[in-house]
Structure 1
Amino acid sequence: MRRRSPVTAALAAVAALTLTPALPAAAAAENPTFTPDLHTGQPSGVTMQDGVVQLAPTAEPTPLDPPTDQPEPPRIGMLTLPPHRLAAAAGTVRPELAAEQPKDTSTAVDVRARRADGRWSEWVPADPGQAATLHEPSAEIQLRLVLTGTAAAGPTVRGLRVTPTPVDRLRLAARPLALQTHKVFATREGLVGHTTANGHVITENDHFVALPSRRALSPRGTDDYSVKVCAPNGRCAWAPVWDVGPWNTRDDYWNPPSVRQNWAELPQGTPQSQAAYRDGFNGGLDQFGRKVRNPAGIDLADGLFRGALGLKDNAYVTVVYLWTGRA
């Protein structure tokens, strides 16, 4: 299946639990609520005017698949805001949106943190009005607005308030395991001329991948989340994650059950689409109620699929999820 493209697996992979020192209670006053500037940021599938963010008429379905007789997934647009420095390390972040949401539309906020090793954590979805727990305490965070709608209607965001909560007690911190490596079925994305979830326009010989969760979606033009893919013929290549799919958008299957966003009952490393296709899991349907017609857990852009890896047809490949730990 083709799809275009979707937060730290390393965070997710808990090897051991250790105590980290508490910050002074006075730090609470050092991280006041702030209001991000919605005039700035990296848009994808959204329009920005006078601080108002709306789903663009050109926003494409995510995952983007070739037309079929099955229901079309929702249209998703995103605005990735610039990183924000805090006065003190925060443990949780609570975003509050001022938004208008017609029927069949929604808004959400993803947040990620700069880790102690300098890399970004995976994106953590923040439920409306709820605080998102960062993978580790951090004094630098980044937020991403996610607007979901249909061809007929989309939401409007007029404001965002963010309240970071400093670490005011001993907390458990995750130590990443070794890099996650899994064998999954790969399909060719194709879809030249369409736009990925992060706003990249797909070219004929492109080099990127799509994974079925926006937790590991890199901002456009970056390789914050990348994979190493090895084909059965022994050829390997590296590529950034620039799209979300195939099939699902909430399936971070590389994460352990304690962190996996959906389908925690499945073994780590098993995509929901694979379980649906092979075993009839979820009635053989994806998260949108579509019949799963192949077990794909990763999509490969054409230049990666044909050129770098030399694949002639869809195949099982070995994938190393490079942000999940250190070799």
Structure 2
Amino acid sequence: MSGATTRTRRWAVALAVATGVAGGLATFAVPAGATPPVPASGTLTWSVTPEGEQSTRSLGTVASAQRPERTSIEEFPTEPLDKPVNTVVAELDATVPGGTAAAVDVRGLRTDGTWSEWAEITADAAAVLPELTRSVQTRLVLTAPDGAGFPDVRQIDLTAWNAEEVQASAPAGERTYRVFATREGLVGGTTANGHVIKSRDHFVALPSRRGLANRGSGNYTVQVCTSDDARCEWAPVWDVGPWNTKDDYWNADRQMWHDLPQGKPQAQAAYQDGYNGGRDGFGRRVANPAGIDLADGTFWDGLGLRDNAWVNVTYEWTGSGAWGTIATSSTPLNVRSGPRSSAAQVGLAARHAQVRIECQVTGQSVSGTQGTSDLWYRLAPGKFVARAYVDTAVAPAAC
């Protein structure tokens, strides 16, 4: 089949099967022995067409993971659907040279206005969303070695339906884990979502793109605190790393390393326990147990760290309840120990961060981007931000 490109048949889950020859064409087909999924109820179909020029895409190098490859992430507009769905498959019309890869991720809009994690469509399984949704977004992720061209994806056809046997998974509450944090640095580099890293920047990297936020968005945000919770920063996830790129250790159904306990990064297990021969998923000797990378501003200014350290990380999108988006004009928002500007600064909330709100109290009146208000939101015990700088999506109850 070298020299020709074929399309998958209906219901087939798309996966590039490389010819193994550099620069050769890829054939898209159902793997031998695989059974294409069959919808349990009516289907909805739509197509997306990638941009023709790579320069229009979000180009990155997965800066935190320090891989000798380039990443192209293209996000498509949200598709409004006539019926609720929870299962999605895809077909690709594409040419994928050997050594490169093309992947399709989807996510669904939840009833509270937040997004589910990105789920990759694979050759063996459809992407299953955690709850029924009428809004699905698709993104195309291309990778290629330095110096090589990206795959040429001409069209993506998607099919979605309600698999009635799939039960909605109610959020079990925000997940918090103690992990080792390192400083990313890499000023001037490009993150996995295409953000160019600035001096004293405010974002984090996690070792999986399932929680990778859109560029300029905080739809996946973490609350990262010092080990004693004295200082915290709420920061968006804009990069993939450190070490691994498919280690969503905060999930029970993690993509890889299924025998590790939930909440333990693979790099930590490799460093402390000799797991996987002490190497990461790319075969590199693991030199530290890091499960999160912090941009310089988050590291120095938000948490006040001077060296790599153990921190407490809460993955905000895994929770439920009231939430809003930090809407400062440029700089991070001060987090105070009480509902007034004179209270001690105990952390920062980065611009664009999407934060869960525990409750609200009345305090000092403040004027900001969202008007004038005497309400203050408690994001965590002893951690308050002024309502005047929060674009509130779901309002909280009183404390």
Shorter-chain TM-score: which interval? 0.7 to 0.9
Contact persistence 1:100–1:156 (CA under 8 A): yes
Matches within 5 A, 1:116-155: 116-128=111-123, 130-153=125-148, 154-155=150-151
- 1:183/1:322 CA distance change after superposition, 3 Å: same
Listed one character per residue, the Cα deviations across residues 187-244 of structure 1 (whole Å, up to 9, x for unaligned) are 0010001111111111001110000000000001111111111113621111011110
Correspondence for 2:225: 230
Q: Deviations over 1:25-82 (max 9, x none)?
A: 5x43xx2x21114249xx9xx435xxxx8x96xx4255443xxxxxx44322110111
Aligned partners of 2:159, 2:49: CA distance in 1, in Å?
15
- 2:46 counterpart letter in structure 1: F
Cα separation, 2, equivalents of 1:106 and 1:139: 29
Whole-Å separation in 1 of the counterparts to 2:179 and 2:282: 21
Task: Indicate the percent of aligned positions where both proteins have the same amino acid.
Answer: 51
Aligned pairs for 1:266-277 (under 5 A) are 266-277=260-271
Quote the Cα distance in structure 2 between the aligned partners of 1:155 and 1:122: 25
Q: Does 1:325 align with 2:326?
A: no
Question: Higher relative contact order by CA 8 Å / sep ≥ 6: 1 or 2?
Answer: 1
CA–CA distance in structure 2, aligned partners of residues 118 and 222 of structure 1: 14
Tell me the equivalent position of 1:12. Answer: none
What residue in structure 2 maps to residue 250 of structure 1?
Answer: 246
After the TM superposition, which of the residue ranges 124-133 and 82-91 deviates more from structure 2?
124-133
State how far apart, in whole Å, the 2-side matches of 1:300 and 1:309 are.
10
SS of the equivalent of 1:175 reads: coil
What residue is the counterpart of 1:280 in the other structure? 274
CA distance in 2, matches of 1:289, 1:61: 17
Query: Where does residue 47 of structure 1 map in the other structure?
Result: 55
The amino acid across from 2:115 in the alignment is W
Distance in 1 between residues matched to 2:61 and 2:91, nearest whole Å: 26
Counterpart contact for 2:73–2:139, Cα < 8 Å: yes
**Which letter maps to 1:304?**
T
Per-residue deviation, 1:275: 0.2
Partners of 1:132 and 1:178 in 2: CA distance: 23
Within the candidate set 34, 38, 50, 1:38 is matched to: 50
**What secondary structure does 1:95 align onto?**
strand
Per the TM alignment, residue 130 of structure 1 is displaced from its structure 2 partner at its CA by 4.7
Q: Give the C-alpha shift of residue 158 in structure 1.
A: 1.2
Alpha carbons of structure 1 residues 232 and 299: separation in structure 2 relative to 1, 3 Å: same
Per the TM alignment, residue 267 of structure 1 is displaced from its structure 2 partner at its CA by 0.7
C-alpha distance in 1, partners of 2:142/2:245?
14
Gaps of 5+ in 2: 1-39, 321-357, 359-399
Match of 1:315 in 2: 309
Query: Which residue in 2 is equivalent to 1:174?
Result: 169
Question: Is 2:176 aligned against 1:205?
Answer: no
Looking at structure 1, the residues matched to 208 and 176 of structure 2 have their Cα atoms a distance apart, in angstroms, of: 17
Output the CA distance in 2 between the equivalents of 1:312 and 1:98: 49
Moved more, 98-107 or 232-241: 232-241
* Larger radius of gyration between Structure 1 and Structure 2: 2
Q: Which moved more, 1:300-309 or 1:227-236?
A: 227-236
Q: How far did 1:152 drift? A: 3.0
Task: Tell me: CA distance 1:102–1:37, structure 2 relative to 1, closer, same or farther (3 Å).
Answer: closer
Unaligned runs of 5+ residues in structure 1 are 1-23, 66-71
Q: Contact 2:68–2:146 at 8 Å: present in 1 too?
A: no
What is the aligned residue count? 281
2:74 corresponds to? 79
**2:65–2:244 CA contact under 8 A, matched in 1:** no
Q: Does 1:297 align with 2:298?
A: no
Q: Give the conservation status (yes or no) of the 8 Å contact 1:185–1:317.
A: yes
- 1:266 Cα deviation (Å)? 0.5
Give the whole-Å Cα distance in 1 for the aligned partners of 2:142 and 2:185: 25
In structure 1, give the amino acid aligned to 2:266: Q
What is the Cα deviation at residue 137 of structure 1?
Answer: 1.4
d(CA) in 2 for partners of 1:227 and 1:235? 14
